[in-house]
Every structure is written in C-alpha cells, then in structure tokens.
Amino acid sequence: MPPRPGEAGEDPVALYDPRRMAFFHYMFTRFFRTHMRAARVALWGQPLDYGARPLVVFANHPGWWDGVAFMLLANRLFPGRRMFIPMDAGALERYRFMTRIGVFGVENGSPRGAVAFLRSARLVLGAPDRMLWMNAPGRFSDVRERPVPIATGMSRLPDMAADALFVPLALDYPFWSERKAEMLCAFGPPIEAATLAALSREERLAALSTALAATMDRLAEDAIARDPARFTTLLRGPEGMGGIYQLWRRLLSVTKGQSFDPRHDPRGGAG
C-alpha cells in the first residue's frame, strides 16, 4: 500500500503544487507581518549564484519560526527553485496541507524511517532547480550551543547527489528596541558535496557543524550590534505598540504639529 500524504516514504516531488505554494507564501507573509518586526539578511550573508545545481540548505534550529523563515527566504531569494523540507511524520499529520508545498514526512528513530528519508532526499536532489532545506540539529537548539549539533542522517546526504552544494544558514530571533522580534538570517560559503563525500561520516558531521557555527557566530556579531544598516530588509511588520496607546500618541503628535514616529527608539533605525 503506498504511503498517504504526510507519511514517511511519500514522493514529495509528485505532491508539490506551485499554486498552493504561492497561496501559502502569501498567508505566511501576512502572518509574519502581524507577529514580527522585520526579516533581515546580513549584507555579507546574501545567497550566491549557485548555478544549475541542487542545494542542501542546512540551518540551525533556534525556534518555532524556522519553518516560516524557510518559506519566506526560499520564495524571495530563490524564485526559480522549488523547496522541500523534511518534517516529523507524526507532526505532519496535523498539517496535511504542507505536503502540497514541499514538506515530506520522516519517521524518526527507526531504520525504516532513515531509508525512507534518504529515498525522498534522492528524489528531491535529482534536479538542479530543487533545494532541500533542513534544520541540521534535528531538534531545537539554542543559538549559543557549541558545538552545533548535526543530526547523524545528514552524513548520508553527500552520497545522494554528487553535484549538490551544501549551504549553511544561520537563524536568530533577537529582540532589539521594539516589542516584536527580528528575524535575522545569513548564508555561509557553500560546501561541495564531493568534498564532504571524501570524508568519513564523523568528519562530514564535524565539517557541517564547523561551517554552520562560523556562520552563526558572524551573524551573532551583527545581532549584538543592533544595526539594521548591516542587513538587507526583506520584509517589515508595523512599528510601535499598536492599539489605543499608539492612537493616543499619534493624536498628541497631530495636536503639537509634529510628525509621528511609532517606534519605541527612533535612534535604532528601521532598516
């Protein structure tokens, strides 16, 4: 019996629906603008022109927002590519619609699940316009945790596509001067799959961990600086407190003949 959508072993490429992806990108964008201040990519960490090659984007896993970050970054920075994301099969059962936007189920902790994941990964990486996006630790992990954990299954991926590039992605969600958090992102230098394939399994995991940690450490410097000028701003939400208090401040500005700035700390810049 073939697997149902959302179960481990599905064919994510066959299930992908570009129209649903466009719709949910719109919905995720609205959701982001409601709950976050801005999505920013470090100037030094912009994605490169990777050419016609499949990509494995491996990120740290600091929080719930990672899936939204994947959606926004992939659609805005890689418009000519299709993104696919592995997700725990049990969790995916609650979000069946995601199987139509590139998310496929993975049965964690079993040999059968590992085989199914590698089969799906091989399908995804079988064309140069596709990308496999993964939270490399396989679990939530703090941005300060060192060494950066890498799930053991990542060591098998270089064997799935010899011409693929592995691209580290650092994510962080700090609060700066406003009530909503920032989504900060940065891509690191790519690693050739062939370079990783020449290493032992343990050495591959260490190389991926080191590359991701270096990208995260550099992004942390920009996060600490709290300077939007260090970033390209992809998306912004509304500034200020909102609600009755913000309306009252706006009215006061009007009565005083002053321009209204809703930000808590205008010196911080909006980006």
Answer yes or no: is 213 within a domain.
Answer: yes
CA 182 to chain centre: 14
What pLDDT score does 247 carry? 58
Q: Out of 44-53, 213-222, 237-246, pick the least confident.
A: 237-246
Does the pLDDT of residue 224 top 80, yes or no?
A: yes
List, as own/partner pairs, every contact residues 201-210 make where C-beta atoms lie below 8 angstroms and the sequence separation is at least 24, other chains included. Answer: 201/152, 201/155, 201/156, 202/155, 204/154, 204/155, 204/158, 205/150, 205/152, 205/154, 205/155, 206/147, 208/58, 208/136, 208/150, 208/154, 208/166, 208/168, 209/147, 209/148, 209/149, 209/150, 210/147
For residue 233, what are the β-bridge partners? 40
CATH of the domain at 69: 3.40.1130.10
**Number of domains comprising the chain:** 1
What's the mean pLDDT in 145-171? Answer: 96
What pLDDT score does 245 carry? 46
Model's pTM, two decimal places?
A: 0.86
Answer yes or no: is 269 within a domain.
Answer: no
Answer yes or no: is 244 within a domain.
Answer: no
Answer yes or no: is 156 within a domain.
Answer: yes
**pLDDT, tens digit (0-9, with 9 covering 90-100), for 47-98:** 999 999 999 999 999 999 999 999 999 999 999 999 999 998 888 888 888 9
Answer yes or no: is 254 within a domain.
Answer: no
The domain containing residue 210 runs over which residues?
12-238
Answer yes or no: is 233 within a domain.
Answer: yes
Answer yes or no: is 261 within a domain.
Answer: no
